[in-house]
Structure 1
């Protein structure tokens, strides 16, 4: 990871918005923001591996999406940059598959709706400060909820590849087949999926609880370090963490 990561990066966008387009500092600050957020693009590119596309190509497409997110993000709306960037970058990668990699026949009507999903999802994410639901997307598009749901599912109708095919890129001898690689899941998948599920819930937490979660799980601080910084006891921090995590679990997994 480069720089300081992308935690609390929103103030940099406020600085960026205050600079004129021809200010040399604007270009340098923009590049700094993009560099700090590159891990987001890599995580998402890995999420889409195994669908017939080279990882390096997916990474470049995801980085393009990241740049788009940086240039479009409005810090005055109130949402976090990560909450806006994740669906924006994923939308860019999905558009690539939609435009270049349909492997299963999909009805034209669903393709038409699917082609509009990305822009609608990005607009709603910026407006709501969270990932929109299928019902909200349907209302935004003026489309039937069932059709929008089917279009979202149709995103999986991308290129297929043989399990017996090798991982050779044409320049190197084949070493193993796709079948040989099955059995272990990319650990970063859970990072993105978990974030998408919990991000709206984190945004609704009181400031104190959200701060303690950030310090514990994003900054890897011990409970005692958190207690020292907040001026409370380690036991209080432990209780707050336990209660907050239980609340998030109950809200994210109501069943």
Structure 2
């Protein structure tokens, strides 16, 4: 491809270049030269994504290098014959590499070593199961794949979000993206999640008293977000049977929770 052609081509419209690449011998100098040319054309995308993650406690040059690695991976993995645009494939690939960099290198909040180690295994298992199942795996499927309790998977996923913190003096942004009060100055209002936290604390002991079958039913429905029909298929029963059992379980939990709150109030 000529330099003039390359100058006219941007990463938003790179598909014709990949079509040409597919027509060359993978071991030929022509193939390697065209591959390098495509990577060079797509490098501005790496900088754009790296800047999106700037200011989060990591050196920009390290983010840029990681994003550029993501570009190379996207170029090498993209299959133009699928008909999907390159940009739609490249962006999540590059962003995934940058997020992985944060998870692997930035842990300002203390996270137990076991969660850190399991987090890497969960990430690898997620990628493998996604390829195998052609969809994102559920927490239960990850637990089965890694032979660990589903609660460990949940804790690990929560710990994965501990790589980013903000100073209390950091200016918060308003709806227009302009600097406003500091993070500390936004404190004081009642957090709408407090009620959810209280309810969770209340119901946790009640869930622990349920049978393993009832616990599994709730995990399928509310953690793995399976439909009642999908649960019924797994259990070999009717959808109506699953519906009745879920209704009974939830009504019992609501009644016991209400009793506990009244006892505390008294």
TM-score w.r.t. the length of structure 1 is 0.50
**Looking at both structures, which has the greater relative contact order when contacts are Cα pairs under 8 Å and sequence separation is at least 6?**
1
Higher Rg of the two aligned structures: 2
Higher helix share: 2
